[in-house]
Amino acid sequence: MHSLFDFEGADTLLISKDPQSEFTKLLQAKGVNNVTVMGITNLKDKYKPYEAKRQLCARYDCFLVDDRVAPLLPRLLGKKFFETKK
Residue 44 falls within a domain, yes or no? yes
Q: 1 in a domain, yes or no?
A: no
- Is 41 inside any structural domain? yes
Beta bridge partners of 39: 16
Contact 18, 39 (CB under 8 A): yes
Res 85 pLDDT > 90? no
The domain total for the chain is 1
Residue 55: inside a domain, yes or no?
A: yes
Question: Which residue pairs from 72-76 have beta carbons closer than 8 angstroms and sit at least 24 positions apart in sequence?
Answer: 72/40, 73/15, 76/40, 76/43, 76/44, 76/47
Print the domain residue range for 73. Answer: 12-79
Please report whether residue 85 resides in a domain. no
For 62, the 3-state DSSP assignment is strand
Indicate the residue type of 46: K
How do residues 31-78 score in pLDDT, each as one tens digit? 888 889 999 999 999 999 999 999 999 999 889 999 999 999 999 998
Round to whole Å and give the CA distance between 78 and 63.
15
Residue 71: inside a domain: yes
Residue 54 inside a domain? The answer is yes
